[in-house]
Amino acid sequence: MKKLFSVFTALFLILPCFSCSDTKKPDNSSDITGEPIENETEEKQFMTYSSKDFKKIDVPWNETDSEPPVELKCYEFPDYDFGERIPPCMSSDDPMQYYYDYENYEAMENEADKKEIYDEFMKNANKPQHPFIERVQRDGNKLYVTVNYDTICYKHEWSIYCFDTDTNEMTEIYNYSGLDNVRSQDHVYGVIIDNLLYIPLRENDRSYLTAIDLETKEETVIMESAYSFTLQEKPDGGLSVCEQIFDGDRSSDDGSLYRYYDFDTKTKELSETEFDAAHSTYTWDGFIKAYLEKPEGSRSVDLITDNYRLSTGITAANIFYADDKKAMLITPDDKHILHTFDFEKMEHYVTELKIADTGYVFGDGIVMCNFSSSQSLVCYFLPELGFAFNLTDYIIISSFSKENNSVSFIEEDWSETGSSIFTKFKKYYWLEEKEQ
């Protein structure tokens, strides 16, 4: 995703096309208002912005062959065979109980239809399953590869392999095979930090946020709950833990649907954080403290964060990203119009995206991926300039994620064995910003 001279030359040539007048700055003489927050200095004011405070600039999508301001790094994997295994659910006395729609299956009255479902499902009983790559995580010169052998339930048979990029050796370092400890979500999803696997496990209708030492296999329970957990790695190397306080119509005593915790992976301290889920939005970058509101009598939506309120002038939008420096909104229609508000330059960039609106903010731009077909294209887009740098050709992509202050994904190949078609691990990519 990475000879900056050609980029800066191109930027120098294109900048005059976008702007030739002064931009508006927020000061005491402007119509931008603000009231100081209690017990805060005047430097920390809650600001109120209108879309009219920003200089609106239409920025066309411009694919360029110039060198991008980011670098795409890659490890190519050896031709490694993860083998096949029979997950315990499909070798149990009653595999049918693990059918994904078992309750409706049991309630079916048409015996012929029921037998057809049974016969089709039981073809996998006691049959070795070819695995799929669940996720890849990087830690220094090591890549941790989560391999799932349970293609039926996705949680009863999985392993973690460690690939040493210095020696090109792949070693299985952890395996789970059983029916007791099962994940609270549909797939195996843990976070590896300092050789510890943090993962939510579920047993006897309770969830356990567990740290597993990948060397000693020792397991330590960090917290437990009747509800389920989701995890997200923070930029500082810690963990953000979301406890989902809902099941059907249930909620916590205070009516909220979530509780949030910070876990310090160095001190091993867990602390509950104040987080208003009703005034937050889940984005590709995780939960952010921002939400949209349509004022009474207004056709456009306002973007509201802890530090500002922005009257966007947009009738309908979804939040893509928001912080104190910039806010990004995308219209929900087929055109996918990206609106970027730059609070430092007081400029509003408008671009019709030519690729699906799936991506992460990284550096000054967005890493975007098109998942609309069996093959995908990854590009890096600069909203201020409209430059779109294609980082890959169309390839088979999975595990597109943001972690370790980077964006990463894996490339796979289609392979075929007998009547089965599966993906084969090929390359691991991650993004780094170029040094200026």
Q: Is residue 82 situated within a structural domain? A: no
Q: Which tens digits make up the pLDDT trace of 85-113?
A: 999 999 999 999 888 888 899 999 999 99
Please tell me the predicted confidence (pLDDT) of residue 372. 60
Give residue 105's domain range.
Answer: 92-125
Q: Which of 278-292, 314-328, 358-372 has the highest mean pLDDT?
A: 314-328
In degrees, rounded to 5, the angle at the alpha carbon of residue 414 between the alpha carbons of residues 409 and 416 is 145
User: Which residues make Cβ contacts (< 8 Å) with residue 180, sequence separation at least 6?
Assistant: 203
Containing 222, the helix (H) or strand (E) segment is strand 219-225
Q: Is residue 120 situated within a structural domain? A: yes
Comparison of pLDDT for 203 and 359, the residue scoring more: 359
User: Which residues make Cβ contacts (< 8 Å) with residue 132, sequence separation at least 6?
Assistant: 147, 148, 151, 422, 423
Please tell me the predicted confidence (pLDDT) of residue 178. 85
Q: How confident is the model at residue 28 (pLDDT cuts 50, 70, 90)?
A: very low
Q: Is residue 108 situated within a structural domain? A: yes
- Average the pLDDT over 360-380 and give the result: 85
Please tell me the predicted confidence (pLDDT) of residue 410. 85
Number of domains in the chain: 1
Asked if residue 133 lies in contact with residue 425, where contact means CB atoms within 8 angstroms, the answer is yes
Containing 102, the helix (H) or strand (E) segment is helix 102-107
Q: Token digits for 36?
A: 């100081």
Q: Which of 432, 376, 426, 434 is nearest to 76 (CA)?
A: 426
Containing 396, the helix (H) or strand (E) segment is strand 396-403
Place of tokens 């300039």: 385
Mean pLDDT of the chain, nearest integer: 80
| Percentage of residues of the chain with pLDDT beyond 70 | 79
pTM above 0.85, yes or no: no
Backbone angles phi, psi at 105, to 5 degrees: -60, -45
For 162-177, b/e burial (b = at least 16 CB within 10 A) is bbeeeeeebeebbebe
Backbone angles phi, psi at 119, to 5 degrees: -60, -40
Q: Is residue 79 situated within a structural domain? A: no
Please tell me the predicted confidence (pLDDT) of residue 217. 86
Q: Is residue 240 situated within a structural domain? A: no
Integer Cα distance of 375 and 41 in angstroms: 52
Please tell me the predicted confidence (pLDDT) of residue 168. 85
Q: Is residue 199 situated within a structural domain? A: no
Q: Is 377 helix (H, G, I), strand (E, B) or coil?
A: coil
Integer Cα distance of 200 and 229 in angstroms: 6
Q: What is the largest CA-CA distance in the chain?
A: 78
Q: Is 93 helix (H, G, I), strand (E, B) or coil?
A: coil
Q: What does each C-alpha distance from 247 to 224, 232, 237, 257, 275 come to in angstroms?
A: 16, 21, 30, 9, 20
Q: Token digits for 337?
A: 């119009």
Place of tokens 């093959």: 375
Q: Is residue 400 situated within a structural domain? A: no
Q: Comparing 130-139, 164-173, 308-317, which segment has the lowest mean pLDDT?
A: 130-139
